[in-house]
Amino acid sequence: MKKLNKKKVFSFLNHVTTALLFLVLISMIFLVISTKASGGEPEIMGYQLKTVLSGSMEPDIKTGSIIAVKPAGDMKRFKENDVITFMEEDGKLITHRVTEVIQSGDNVMYRTKGDNNNAEDLNPVLSENVVAEYTGVTIPYLGYLVNLAQSQNGAFLLLIPGFILIGYAGFTIWQAIKELELSNKKESKENDSSSLT
């Protein structure tokens, strides 16, 4: 009875481990493919995933988080307190809160500020430089993993779950074959002994 329970527990753990490793592998493959397809920005169902590299929006958006932003739409529609992602002159992306909307004819500019900063950003943001709107979705600490995945050494490290899964699958197959052979030998012995009587 104890042997049967141990076997069930081992089988259950075996299935859970396989499922988890497979899930990690599929997630990594999806992340890499979506990053390459969107030109460096991972995208899921029209939402881009951005990595937060500073604490300017803490405590709501922590350093190392992944945030989901929506890149489509009219970039002149934002109002005070909306959180936007915009491109600075040096090509760096910033996600800050709109503190004031400045309208001059057809042109719209936004004064912005990081929630954790003492002062507003120096230059107003042209609506043409706004690339997306923050959706409110934040996944803490996952940004560190994404940054690692985008580096050359990190991409190699993230292949490790794949190698583990392949090795584990090989071990499971070997174990199943071994059990089949044992079962066949046992059946063969039983058949031989029954034919002798």
Q: Which residues are catalytic?
A: 54
Residues 6+ apart with CB under 8 A from 75: 127, 128, 130
What is the tally of helices (H) and strands (E) in the chain? 4, 8
Contact (Cβ atoms closer than 8 angstroms) between residue 22 and residue 14: no
Using CA atoms, how far apart are residues 196 and 57, in angstroms rounded to an integer?
82
Question: Residue 154, by phi and psi: left (phi above 0), alpha (psi -120 to 50) or beta?
Answer: alpha
Number of Cβ atoms within 10 Å of the Cβ of 35: 17
- What CA–CA distances, in Å, run from 103 to 47, 95, 99, 108, 129? 28, 21, 13, 5, 15
Residue 148 to residue 143: CA distance in whole angstroms: 8
